[in-house]
């Protein structure tokens, strides 16, 4: 039964009150126009709870915008949405098309810092987020008193004499809820084993991020990436106001999980809305994504905290190979990943999430 505008309603009660369910929960296809975003395929999802988001099939099936009752949940970079034609794969060129957004996928065969791996010059964070999806479908369905809408599509990273890997993604939301479900399958369609790196770059911004915000994680250990992160590492969970000249800090979290592998992290701002509170949590399987990366960037105009579940670190594929932690997909092999991104809309919900996360850590 959906909770809609403070009331629990059955399917019949909802449909008696609307001409079509799209009045309260919908997925609408669109195409962006003008400037560098011209032609990018988009899907706008709304749940009736106050949660709205835009998925971009034209850019790797990633999530550009997300807001709750008018408050943005994510950070947008100065690049804006760019069409795949503007992608620059060399070196740090990926940053010229990195719009931020709620979720950008890094991978599928390499991710992290630029490197030269076995003679191949690899740029930052891979190709998948700059590839348009194929076989895109948008639909909705009732299941008893629960209504779900979704967008689904496949993104292929392939090369003659090289990799042939496809990501099939389904992003769904439910009527009356403030949760986003991401269900992915990555499959090697080729006939040789292939390297597989994936990072879910979840980029939270103002007003979720502020000097009053805190990061909640069930961390067993927190390891700075480099000397820059070691400076002030004890404050990894606290955040500054926008600061000129700030250099990014990156931390690796070894997080606790349930016996089934489930884990959770959240960024919360208890002072939002004069004490109403606002936060975003991510829930996923540590068995699927064993690494949690924190990207802390407190710069002016670049004011963002990344929570990034991953199957790798971010020093690049060469470093992953040398460390002996590089993941491979064998011919025909599939790997599945499941994430839930949700909004914490009150102090009570923040307290409950903190208790759950602390319970994971103590357990």
Mean residue pLDDT across the chain = 97
C-beta of residue 27 within 8 angstroms of C-beta of residue 44: yes
Confidence of residue 98 (pLDDT cuts 50, 70, 90): very high
Taking only the tens place, the pLDDT of each residue in 41-59 is: 999 999 999 999 999 999 9
Confidence of residue 11 (pLDDT cuts 50, 70, 90): very high
Q: Which domain holds residue 324?
A: 2-362
Residue 222 has pLDDT above 90, yes or no: yes
Taking only the tens place, the pLDDT of each residue in 153-191 is: 999 999 999 999 999 999 999 999 999 999 999 999 999
- Among candidates 178, 133, 176, 127, which has minimal Cα distance to 151? 133
C-beta of residue 269 within 8 angstroms of C-beta of residue 208: yes
Please tell me the predicted confidence (pLDDT) of residue 96. 98
**What is the rounded distance in angstroms from the CA atom of residue 195 to the CA atom of residue 165?**
10
Taking residues 203-223, what's their average pLDDT? 98
Decide: residue 39, CB within 10 A, 0-12 exposed, 13-18 middle, 19+ buried: middle
Taking only the tens place, the pLDDT of each residue in 100-142 is: 999 999 999 999 999 999 999 999 999 999 999 999 999 999 9
Residues in a beta bridge with 200: 105
| 116-122: long-range pairs with CB below 8 Å, 24+ | 116/318, 117/316, 117/317, 117/318, 117/321, 118/318, 118/321, 121/90, 122/316, 122/317, 122/318
Taking only the tens place, the pLDDT of each residue in 235-254 is: 999 999 999 999 999 999 99
Taking only the tens place, the pLDDT of each residue in 275-313 is: 999 999 999 999 999 999 999 999 999 999 999 999 999
Question: Which pTM value belongs to this model?
Answer: 0.97
Q: What are phi and psi of 341, to 5 degrees?
A: -115, 120
- What CATH number did the domain enclosing 131 receive? 2.70.98.10
State the total domains in the chain: 1
The rounded radius of gyration (Å) of the Cα atoms in the chain is 20
Taking only the tens place, the pLDDT of each residue in 60-83 is: 999 999 999 999 999 999 999 999
Residue with tokens 């990344």: 306
Please tell me the predicted confidence (pLDDT) of residue 363. 86
**What is the rounded distance in angstroms from the CA atom of residue 70 to the CA atom of residue 272?**
13
- Among candidates 169, 179, 306, which has minimal Cα distance to 236? 306
Please tell me the predicted confidence (pLDDT) of residue 150. 98
Taking residues 4-21, what's their average pLDDT? 96
Please tell me the predicted confidence (pLDDT) of residue 257. 98
Taking only the tens place, the pLDDT of each residue in 340-363 is: 999 999 999 999 999 999 999 998
Please tell me the predicted confidence (pLDDT) of residue 362. 93
Percent residues over pLDDT 90 in the chain: 99
Structure tokens at 27: 């997925």
């Amino acid at each position: 039964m959906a909770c809609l505008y403070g009331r629990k309603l059955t399917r019949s009660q909802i449909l008696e009150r609307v001409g079509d369910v799209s009045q309260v929960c919908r997925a609408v296809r669109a195409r962006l126009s003008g400037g560098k975003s011209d032609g990018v395929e988009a899907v706008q999802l709304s749940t009736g709870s106050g949660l709205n988001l835009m998925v971009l099939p034209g850019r790797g099936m990633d999530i550009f915008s997300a807001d709750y009752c008018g408050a943005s949940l994510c950070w947008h970079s100065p690049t804006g949405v760019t069409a795949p034609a503007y992608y620059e794969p060399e070196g740090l060129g990926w940053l010229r098309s990195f719009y931020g957004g709620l979720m950008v996928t890094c991978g599928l065969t390499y991710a992290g810092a630029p490197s030269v791996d076995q003679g191949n010059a690899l740029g930052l964070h891979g190709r998948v987020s700059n590839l348009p999806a194929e076989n895109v479908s948008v639909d909705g369905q009732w299941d008893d008193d629960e209504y779900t809408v979704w967008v689904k599509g496949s993104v292929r990273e392939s090369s003659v004499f090289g990799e042939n890997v496809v990501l099939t993604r389904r992003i769904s939301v439910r009527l009356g809820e403030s949760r986003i479900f991401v269900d992915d399958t990555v499959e090697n369609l080729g006939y040789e084993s292939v390297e597989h790196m994936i990072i879910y770059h979840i980029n939270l911004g103002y007003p979720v991020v502020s000097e009053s915000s805190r990061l909640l994680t069930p961390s067993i250990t927190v390891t700075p990436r480099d000397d820059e992160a070691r400076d002030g590492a004890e404050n990894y969970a606290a955040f500054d106001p926008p600061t000129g000249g700030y250099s990014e800090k990156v931390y690796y979290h070894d997080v606790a999980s349930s016996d089934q592998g489930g884990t959770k992290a959240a960024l919360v701002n208890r002072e939002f809305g004069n004490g109403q509170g606002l936060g975003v949590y991510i829930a996923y399987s540590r068995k699927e994504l064993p690494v949690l990366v924190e990207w802390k960037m407190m710069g002016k105009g670049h004011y963002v905290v990344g929570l990034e579940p991953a199957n790798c670190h971010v020093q690049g594929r060469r470093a992953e190979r040398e460390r002996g932690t590089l993941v491979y997909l064998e011919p025909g092999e599939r790997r599945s990943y499941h994430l839930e991104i949700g909004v914490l809309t009150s102090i009570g919900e923040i307290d409950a999430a903190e208790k759950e996360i602390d319970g994971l850590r103590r357990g």
